[in-house]
Structure formats: structure tokens, C-alpha cells
Chains A and B, each alone.
Chain A
Amino acid sequence: MKTNAAEFDLRTPATLGEALALLGEPQGKWRPFAGGTDLMVLLESGNLMHKNFVNLRGFKELRGIEVSPQFVVLGALTTFSAIQENELIKKEFPCLVQAAAQVGAIAIQNRGTIGGNIGNASPAADSPPALLIYDAEIELMSTSGARWVSYDSFHTGYKKTLLGAGELISKIRLPRTTRASGRTVHYFRKVGARKAQAISKVSVAGWAHVEKGVIKEVRLALGSVAPTVVRGKNTENLLKGKVLSPALYEEARSILGGEISPISDIRSTDVYRKRIAQNLLSEFLEHVGLDQ
């Protein structure tokens, strides 16, 4: 089907301030447009409901990766390719790099942005589980200023977020944590239909800090197992402070099974998704338990 492009507007304001002013107009008339890799698919299939978009691509304020002693800060327009090329992110936040490498193929990674991945709010998106285990915070900006919110609180329901009227996502920051002793484990795995371009059936990201065999801290996040990407907090609470044992493994699998609610759709069934999620948890815990 050919959509009539003339029915849509894509405005490129000279400044970010003007862009925010457009986004702030009543009734949410204007929407952000970043890499377009989600929006252009909707356009072509005739499913793009909004007509007016603000082109964010030119704004330097929304680009680049900055490093301070406390944080790595990514502009919302950071592409998946740029994430994979950043040495510091590779070293300190490897799961984000692995997730970025899983987003479609290279042409999508060159264009698609992390802000768009968050803003699109798909429960199957690849970067959100990695952002969750790294305790990311996101900056939301509008004409009335900017505010930081924890990413953990951002997705409030299926395709529902904390993004208020006139707000856009401007930055994402990841706290840099260094532990004096012990060992940290980073785990990311996406199970999809084929390697490139696959929309996830299930993805799991895990992070843990282990000292003398004791799981001091642990974070677990999952994609495609609930209406939003989610933390597995009951499973985390079970594991925290414990030493891994076969019994703990089994208990963790069953608690995880109880706290996620996958759906059945054309890509997979709920039972199958739950099983994959539990198997990926086991694999994560094997990494946690290594060399004990």
C-alpha cells in the first residue's frame, strides 16, 4: 500500500526550544520523530494515527555519549551502532552493547535510537531489559524544564509511560558502579526466531555482584513476558543474600514463573515463553555460580 506522504507533516525546527514548543501545543498535536524505524513502518502500513511530527535528528543536545565519574549519559538520539562502538559502554555495561547488537540488522542499528526504543514502549524491545538491570534513569524534557525519573518506574502499562504532555526523552544515564571486591556478572540473552531482524520471543538481562559465593546484589529484567518490560523483583528478593544451591535454583525458577505473565500471540505461546524465561534464568544463575 502506498501512503500519501502529503497527508503528514514532519517539521524540522531550528532549535530544541522551538521543538519543545511544538510538542507542548494542545492535544498532543505534535509527536517526536527520531530514527523513524518504528514510525515509518506504521506509515507504510497505513497505521500511523498521528499526522504531525517534529524531527529531532538535528539537535546536538540530544546526541552524544558523555562520561563523568558517576554516570555514563547517552543522548536520546544515540543509535544502536554508536552504543556498540563505545569502549566504555562495552566494558562497564556489556549487556547494553549485546542488546544493541540484537536490534534488527546493521541498517536498523545505524538509524534506530535508544530514545525511540524506550518511547515506542514495546514490551519486546531489546534495550529496555539491559537498561533496567543497570538501574538507568531517564531525563524527560518539556518547555517547563527537565526532570529525571527512574527507568524502573517509566513503563506503567501496555504502551503507557510516565511521559507527560509535551515531554520528550532527552537523556538516559547509567550509574557507574565499582565494587572493591568480589565479582560482577552481566548476562543478556534474546531468544527469537532467527538471528537478525527477529522480534524477541523472550529476552532476559541479569546483573549480579557476588562476594565469597554470596549473592550480594542481583537484578533481573525480562522482555516479552508481560505488558511491559519488567524486573523480576520477587526472584531478586529470593536470591539476594543467598548462596546458590540446587534447591535455590529450583525455587528461583518457580518464583519467576509466578511473577511473569506472558501472552500467547502469533510468535509464541505463553507456556513456551515461560519455559524459555525460566531456562534463561537458569543460565544466568550458572554464570553467577561459576567458580564457587
Chain B
Amino acid sequence: MKPTHFVLNGKKTEIASPPMSRLLDVLREELHLTGTKEGCGEGECGACSVLIDGEVVNSCLVPLAQVEGAEVRTIEGVIEDPRFKVLQSEFVAHGGAQCGICTPGMIVSSASLLEKNPHPRRDEIENALAGNLCRCTGYSKIIDSVEAASK
């Protein structure tokens, strides 16, 4: 099988898996980066959010062949970034995480928002996180956390 090459959290990576493999499965099962979660498997919940060339995507909807040459960042990479450490502490401080299944996706989507728009309004935060579902917090604590992190 022809290997696929991409940059993962800053490191050159090469992987020989079928081209139609979901990026989500490659990350979790081949590369053992289990911070990226699977919720719905069909683009609805955002638990599997990662950044490809700086843009949020659902890794359950991206086939491996389409990351050839791309730069991929997962929650493991995002949280090492000094700019986004504050997201983690604010999620803790404001109760933005309960069971935690949605949290990596929430943080990845929030990081992408803050990268483009460092001081978003509340409705901009809501829009940026509209594709990230949470069954625990009722969202307002998550919005509070992101708002605090952007201050």
C-alpha cells in the first residue's frame, strides 16, 4: 500500500493504511492519539474535531488520502500550544467539562476560533461551537470558559 505523508502536530508522519480509512481511525488506532473522540461517526457531534491546514474539520469524515501533504493538528498538539493552554484551565475553572467526551473537540474548535478571532463575541463563540454537541453542561459553561480564555 502506498504510504500517506503528512505533518502531525509538527512531526513528519508516514502511514500505510487504505486511502479510504477515516482519519479518526488512523489517529486513534494506528497512531495511538486517543484524545480525538468518536461520537456519532457522521459529522453531527464534533467530538472528532481536528485542524487540517488550520481549519476545523470532522476527522470522521476525512479519508486518509485527503491529508497527503497536509498539516494536521489534534487535541494533543493544540493543548501543547502555549496560546491555548489557557483554554484548558478556563474549562476547568468554569465547569466547561463534565463527562469530558465532547471536551477535546470543544477545545480544538475554540482554538481555531481564537486563532482567527482572538476576542470573539458570545454569539461568535456559539456559532463556532454549533457543530460540537455536549450532553452534560448545557453549553453556557462552555461558552463562559471560551469567553474567559479570550480575555
Chain A interface (Cβ within 8 Å of chain B)? 5-6, 8-12, 33, 36-37, 40-41, 43-45, 53, 55, 57, 81, 104-108, 110-111, 195-197
In the bound complex, CA of A81 to CA of B52 (Å): 14
Query: B120 to chain A: closest CB distance in Å?
Result: 12
Of the A-B pairs whose beta carbons lie under 8 Å apart in the complex, a sample of 30, sorted by A's number, is A5-B20, A5-B21, A5-B25, A8-B20, A9-B19, A10-B63, A12-B65, A12-B68, A37-B43, A37-B61, A40-B63, A41-B61, A43-B22, A44-B22, A53-B20, A55-B65, A104-B43, A105-B130, A105-B132, A106-B109, A106-B127, A107-B49, A107-B57, A107-B109, A108-B43, A108-B131, A110-B55, A111-B57, A111-B58, A197-B44
B56 contacts partner chain A, Cβ-Cβ < 8 Å: yes
Q: Mark B16-35, 1 if CB is under 8 A from A, else 0.
A: 01111110010000000000
CB neighbours (8 Å) of B130 from chain A are: 105-106, 195-197
Q: Mark B97-126, 1 if CB is under 8 A from A, else 0.
A: 000000000000100000000000000000
Query: A193 to chain B: closest CB distance in Å?
Result: 12
Query: A2 to chain B: closest CB distance in Å?
Result: 8
Q: Which residue of B lies closest to A10 (CB)?
A: B19
- Interface of A, secondary structure class, is mixed
In the bound complex, CA of A108 to CA of B44 (Å): 9
Are the C-beta atoms of A43 and B20 separated by less than 8 Å?
A: yes
Query: B88 to chain A: closest CB distance in Å?
Result: 21
In the bound complex, CA of A12 to CA of B68 (Å): 10
CB neighbours (8 Å) of A107 from chain B are: 43, 46, 49, 56-58, 109, 131
B41 contacts partner chain A, Cβ-Cβ < 8 Å: yes
CB neighbours (8 Å) of B149 from chain A are: none
Count of chain B residues with a beta carbon within 8 Å of a chain A beta carbon: 31
Q: Which residue of A lies closest to B56 (CB)?
A: A107
B87 contacts partner chain A, Cβ-Cβ < 8 Å: no
B7 contacts partner chain A, Cβ-Cβ < 8 Å: no
B140 contacts partner chain A, Cβ-Cβ < 8 Å: no
CB neighbours (8 Å) of B20 from chain A are: 5, 8-10, 43, 53
Q: Which residue of A lies closest to B61 (CB)?
A: A40
CB neighbours (8 Å) of B86 from chain A are: none
Of the candidates A6, A45, A108, which one forms a contact with B18 in the assembled complex, judged by CB atoms under 8 Å apart? A6
Q: Which residue of A lies closest to B69 (CB)?
A: A58
Of the candidates A10, A41, A55, A105, which one forms a contact with B42 in the assembled complex, judged by CB atoms under 8 Å apart? A41
Beyond A10-B19, A55-B66, list 16 extra A-B contacts (CB 8 Å): A5-B17, A5-B21, A8-B19, A33-B63, A37-B61, A40-B61, A40-B62, A40-B63, A44-B22, A53-B20, A105-B131, A107-B46, A108-B43, A110-B55, A110-B56, A195-B130
